[in-house]
Chain A
């Protein structure tokens, strides 16, 4: 499936969920970070993260892409996940919700998407520098 086709479907689902199901706080129908936080802290029973794992497994099984692999750098990834969650909660949304909010017209989210782009550029620069030095 082309990424843009999937993305359009996801956008419609997320907007519909925000408009008709989870209407408060605003633009809250889909968020990978906030919904996981709400579930873990007992604020709201939002099972988005669990659903993602199930849906991804089903898709991977259909395509023959389920490949259990041992973690190679578990400690580094643990802290990257930690950082990503804290950053998302500070910016008031994961990558998906930031774009949803920006599309809704939230100026703070437009700023956050700008920060996101800068962070991606910085990360990519670090990757390139590592690759040039032959580091993993």
Chain B
């Protein structure tokens, strides 16, 4: 219940801030590559830098973050990380925005972003059931 309320509230705040600022996590690098335009890129860099400072501060205030997963299957997970990141960047540029930006555009009424969100939901379900099949098959 706490999780539901907190995630809804944070979602609303982040959606509002992103809409007012047009922040996009792939748009920054894309705009710099295309036009040498740095407005969105400073947003992405400010996010990373703030998070980097905020993690230890939150820990000082008593925040607890579970341990990172171990390094088993390190080479596999490294490959998956790079491959997943690459595919995500490619799909996001072609769709004209990162997943966060697509939610904002959908909230503004862009029909293509609603189609994107339908695919986003379908992808989540397909991935889950595909993984289940793989696990069952593996057993």
A26 to B18, CA, bound (A): 24
Residues of B85-121 contacting chain A, CB below 8 A: 85-95, 98-100, 102-121
Q: Does B82 contact A (CB under 8 A)?
A: yes
With the chains together, A54 CA to B7 CA distance in Å? Answer: 12
Q: Is A67 an interface residue (CB 8 A)?
A: yes
Does B17 make an interface contact (CB < 8 A)? yes
For the residues of A in contact with B, the DSSP-based class is helix
Closest A-chain residue to B4, C-beta based?
A45
Set A15, A19, A37, A84: member contacting B88, Cβ < 8 A: A84
| CB <8 Å contact, A115 and B107 | no
Q: Tell me the chain B residues, 59-81 only, with Cβ under 8 Å from chain A.
A: 59, 61, 63-69, 77-78, 80-81
User: Which of the residues B46, B100, B123 comes within 8 Å of A95, measured between beta carbons?
Assistant: B100
Question: Which A residues are CB-close (under 8 A) to B39?
Answer: 2-3
Q: Residues of A contacting B122 with CB < 8 Å?
A: 78, 81-82, 85
Which of B4, B93, B126 is within 8 Å of A124, CB to CB?
B93
Any B CB within 8 A of the CB of A69: yes
Separation of A45 and B7 alpha carbons in the complex (Å): 9
* B 31-43 to A, binary, CB cutoff 8 A, 1 in contact else 0: 0011000011011
Query: Do A81 and B63 touch across chains, with their CB atoms under 8 A apart?
Result: no
Is B120 within 8 A of A81, CB to CB? yes
* Chain B residue at minimal CB-CB distance from A100: B51
Chain B contacts of A54 at CB under 8 A? Answer: 11-12, 15, 107
Are B99 and A15 in contact, with the CB atoms below 8 A? no
> B26 — nearest CB in chain A belongs to which residue?
A120
Contact assessment for B17 and A9 in the assembled complex, using a CB-CB cutoff below 8 Å = yes
CA–CA, A136 to B91, complex, Å? 16
Q: Which residues of B contact A18 (CB under 8 A)?
A: 58, 63, 65
- A92-B84 contact given A119-B89, A124-B93, CB 8 Å threshold: yes
Residues A4 and B89 in contact in the complex (CB < 8 Å), given A24-B66, A74-B111, A112-B81: no
Contact of B95 among A53, A70, A81 (CB under 8 A): A81
Closest 10 CB pairs of A and B: A51-B11, A119-B89, A55-B15, A19-B63, A123-B93, A91-B84, A115-B85, A56-B107, A3-B43, A81-B119
Binding site for A on B (CB under 8 A): 1-4, 6-23, 25-26, 28-30, 33-34, 39-40, 42-52, 54-55, 58-59, 61, 63-69, 77-78, 80-95, 98-100, 102-128
Q: What is A's interface to B at a CB cutoff of 8 Å?
A: 1-27, 29-30, 32-33, 35-37, 40-41, 44-60, 62-63, 65-75, 77-92, 94-96, 98-100, 102-106, 108-109, 111-124, 126-128
